[in-house]
Structure 1
Amino acid sequence: MPVRPIVDVMVILERNGHILLAERKDTGYADGMLNLPSGKVDHDRENVTQAAAREVLEEVGVRVDAAALRHVHVMNYLNPEGEQRIGWFFAVTHWDGEPYNAEPHKCAGISWHRPEELPDNTVPYNALGIGHALKGEPFSVHGWKPEEGHPIPFRE
């Protein structure tokens, strides 16, 4: 049976050598940790760039033109709960409006950080993607034990 992974989008808002992170609150997952403006693709009506632009608007109140999003990394991630996810990381340097905490019921606040000096409480999935993006690496796989992360050879 084919795997149907969750498709996530994460947006790296870059300004003056810093990126925007939001502190999760009252979500039931990773509360107290920092993450990029992010969310899931609504499979029945949007693609990854549309989802990324929507999530940025919902979470930090700024409008991003989907065409301005620059793909910087994609990750195949097996989270600690055993869910397979595909994470699309986008970067953007121009947007309309000033970022603010647009979801105070799910976010304790937003803050700017140097991407090469992320706080220890950054969500690992996000920290890994940011690190790969900084190195210019377009793709990664994380979460599998070394013997589990290899594709099965094609056989006729």
Structure 2
Amino acid sequence: MCPASLNHGTPARPGATPLKPRSNVRKLSTAPAPRPRLDNVTSSESTEPCRGFWADTARIRAGYLAEVPPQTLVLKLAEEVGEVAEAYIGMTGGNPRKGVHKTETDVLDELADVMLATAIPMVDMAGGAAQAEAHLARRLGVVSARSVAAPPAEGDGAGGWYGSFVAPHVLLRREDGRVLMLRRYKTGYADGWLCPPAGRIEPGEDVVAAAIREAGEETGVRLHRADARFVHVMHRTAATLPGPCHAVSDFWFRFDRWEGEPRVAEPDKASEALWVDPGRPPHDVIPHCALALASIGRGEVFGVHGWA
């Protein structure tokens, strides 16, 4: 899905034409999922340590912590973090009065307790063990990508090179000129807003390969490289973007042909798919995407956004 960060919102959506029923669009309920039950969690005991970490976390929550309010679990984090600091000071002798009275094992135990204290409310808020694990995986991807734009080490002779992220965007265009948009759902970024299939480049991919992969993952269609039509690139910045440049280059490709029926293929990230008129997009299209659509309509292949 479309990267970066905007304020969330769920405005109305005039001017959007829903997909036909045969497209299997799935509209998802936004009601919170029930708390995981003990009898719904299979045993994950294994000779491989932590193989069932999230299932075990859900079982703990449904067991002796079943009656503890979520807000209490979140506040528990502060206590656990304090105990890590106390154990570390005890291990290093940072308190002269007490001297060294803790071991490395004590510190590791406290760090593990912090992980558990974090994971338990995550299971609650995500709606289950699998959802919490998926959310952590997505977050790890976001955090790990930040190193791409890290400044060079001092004295490396690079002369101050900095990175700008690259994000492929895909416009699937029907014969009537309408293009496919997905409504973001529970992604942590611009949820409730519309954007085309989009994402980021993975190691070993060029921007076209990434565009084809993202569209396939998000809509279930199969695209061919020969059908890709480059239509626009936008170099934009926002304070919420990662890296020292806080910048991303959005590459837009149009496809007029594909295999399969476009649908919501990732219901944990999108609640519906709509065909919209790119010349008159709904007002709940993500703002920088709406600007790009307008530029594409004018035949402009390059644009910037957010720079002073």
> What's the TM-score, normalizing by structure 2?
0.46
SS of 1:115's equivalent in the other structure is coil
Partner of 1:135: 298
CA distance in 1, matches of 2:200, 2:253: 14
In structure 1, what residue type is equivalent to 2:266?
A: E
Partner of 1:49 in structure 2?
208
Q: Are 1:11 and 1:90, in contact at CA under 8 Å, matched by a contact in 2?
A: yes
Partner of 2:177: 17
- What is the aligned counterpart of 1:116 among 279, 286, 296? 279
Cα offsets for 1:2-29 (capped at 9, x unmatched): 1211100001110012010000000000
Shift of residue 79, structure 1, vs aligned partner: 2.4
* Higher mean C-alpha deviation, range 119-128 or range 68-77: 119-128
2:254 to 85, 91, 113: 91
SS in 2 for 1:131: helix
Once residues 77 and 3 of structure 1 are traced to their aligned partners in structure 2, the CA distance between those partners, rounded to angstroms, is 15
Greater RCO structure (CA 8 Å; 6+ sep)? 1
Deviations 1:28-80 (A, max 9, x none): 000000000000011x2100100000001000000110221100001111024
Comparing both structures, which one devotes a greater share of its residues to strand?
Answer: 1
**1:126 and 1:28 mapped to 2: Cα distance?**
18
Measure how far apart 1:129 and its partner are: 1.3
Write 1 or 2 for the structure with the bigger share of helix. Answer: 2
Task: Decide whether the 8 Å contact of 1:52 with 1:66 is kept in 2.
Answer: no
- Residue type of the alignment partner of 1:2: W
Q: Which of 1 and 2 has greater Rg? A: 2
Identity of counterpart residues, as a percentage?
Answer: 38
Superposed CA RMSD in Å reads 1.0
**Paired letter, 1:8:** A
Partner of 1:32: 192
Normalization by structure 1: what TM-score?
0.89
Structure 2: stretches of 5+ with no match in the other structure: 1-159
Residue 80 of structure 1 contacts residue 143 of structure 1 at CA under 8 Å; is this kept in 2? no
Distance across 1 between alignment mates of 2:286 and 2:162: 24
